[in-house]
Amino acid sequence: MDTHSIVLPSELVFPIVSHVVARYIDDLVVGPLSRARRPYKDRALGPPDGGPVKALLCVSYQIRQTTLQVLSKALEIPLVEEGIWRLTEKPFTIIAPVRTRCSQSLHGTGLLAYVTSMHMPSAAPPVLEAYRCVHAITLLDAEAADDEPPGRHAHAVLRLEAALAQAYAACPPAFQDVLFPQLEACRARHHTLTRLVMPFTAAQRAWEQVYFGPRAEVPMRLRILIERLRRIQLNADELQNNWPFSTMCMAATIEPGKARVWTKLLNQLRADRKPGRGWESLAELQALANELRSGFIPKVEPLPLPPDSAP
């Protein structure tokens, strides 16, 4: 460590060091280093070389002190400002549990139990709590895409979004900058989920009830299906004309191949068939399906679509 280095202005050093530390913690929790082999020999900083944080601690006393200040504030570890300064706890021991959790995939009752536990007061600092919330919302959204009934997890997601907003607001500015793309992507995916993915899932089930249900219920079920398609059409127009996110386009929020599943459904709905008893609304249904199939689907599915005819 250089003891005779030039002292730089703190207003210059602090933002730079903060960004380096924030980026490194992001890499450890959800970035390339999150997939690195465990366990690490150096439990203080993570990977064997300690990454850029360990290098910063060895540059000069000023850089070391600034780095420790950033770590102390971000991870809520007490800082001993004596001698060369030190933290009372190793940073990686705080990061490791959240890092492990964010690498896990949960489903069903295990996921709901995990989400329920997150409603209890957390000992994690806001920076790490934000990663936990993003991870939990992502898992819930993945399961909700095929949820029955649609929206079963909506309340849990709303509570997690509130917790995420609170944690994000409490993060230091540099960590907010690093977290923002993930926060935006999480919100964008959920935005598309509730306005397209889940309505299409509901429409698919409504069509199954029309096609396989009692004949006496066909007129009622057909009207329900038409109303769901109208809602999808309105949502699709809104998403195309008023997409509220700057870091992620709408098509990128849709799971690969999902639009092809929707295309298959719409092809079935617009297929030629003789309107029988109770199918008086068939022409309206076919017109809606045709508009969605030819006007909206190509904008979110870059790959060649299935043929127009029903499979």
- The whole-number mean pLDDT for each consecutive block of 10 residues of the chain, a chain of 311 residues, reads 67 93 93 67 52 89 94 95 92 90 79 72 88 90 66 75 93 96 90 90 89 83 91 92 86 84 89 64 87 84 50 37
Within 8 A by CB and 6+ apart from 249, the residues are 243
Would residue 125 count as lying in a domain? Answer: yes
Helix axes 198-212, 258-269, angle to 10 degrees: 30
Would residue 34 count as lying in a domain? Answer: yes
Would residue 176 count as lying in a domain? Answer: no
Let me know whether 207 and 287 are in one domain: yes
Let me know whether 91 and 116 are in one domain: no
Would residue 307 count as lying in a domain? Answer: no
Q: What are phi and psi of 2, to 5 degrees?
A: -80, 120
Domain total of the chain: 3
Would residue 266 count as lying in a domain? Answer: yes
* CA-based nearest residue to 150, from 74, 63, 231: 231
Distance, in Å, from the CA atom of 264 to the CA atom of 122, rounded to the nearest integer, reads 45
Would residue 3 count as lying in a domain? Answer: no
Q: How many CB atoms lie within 10 A of CB 158?
A: 10
| DSSP per residue, 174-213 | HHHHHHHHHHHHHHHHHHHIIIIIHHHHHHHHHHHHHHHS
Distance, in Å, from the CA atom of 6 to the CA atom of 273, rounded to the nearest integer, reads 82
Q: What are phi and psi of 200, to 5 degrees?
A: -65, -40
pLDDT reported for residue 226 = 92
Would residue 74 count as lying in a domain? Answer: yes
Chosen domain end from 119, 142, 171: 171
| DSSP per residue, 17-59 | HHHHHHHHHHHHHTSGGGGS-SS-S-TTTSSTT-HHHHHHHTT
Let me know whether 91 and 111 are in one domain: no
pLDDT reported for residue 311 = 37
Would residue 222 count as lying in a domain? Answer: yes
Chosen domain end from 54, 77, 95: 95
DSSP 217: G
Let me know whether 233 and 281 are in one domain: yes
pLDDT reported for residue 232 = 93
Chosen domain end from 48, 63, 95: 95
pLDDT reported for residue 210 = 85
Let me know whether 282 and 221 are in one domain: yes
Let me know whether 79 and 129 are in one domain: no
Let me know whether 52 and 139 are in one domain: no
Let me know whether 238 and 190 are in one domain: yes
Let me know whether 216 and 273 are in one domain: yes
pLDDT reported for residue 9 = 80
Let me know whether 198 and 236 are in one domain: yes
Let me know whether 186 and 296 are in one domain: yes
Let me know whether 186 and 160 are in one domain: no
Helix axes 91-102, 61-75, angle to 10 degrees: 50
Whether 159 contacts 108, CB under 8 Å: no
Whether 257 contacts 199, CB under 8 Å: no
Whether 114 contacts 136, CB under 8 Å: yes
Instruction: Provide the residue type at 198 as one letter.
Output: M
Which domain range does residue 134 map to? 104-171
How is the chain split among helix, strand and coil, in percent rounded to 5? 65, 0, 30
Q: How far is CA 297 from CA 13, 24, 274, in A?
A: 49, 39, 26
Instruction: Provide the residue type at 269 as one letter.
Output: L
pLDDT reported for residue 37 = 55
pLDDT reported for residue 160 = 87
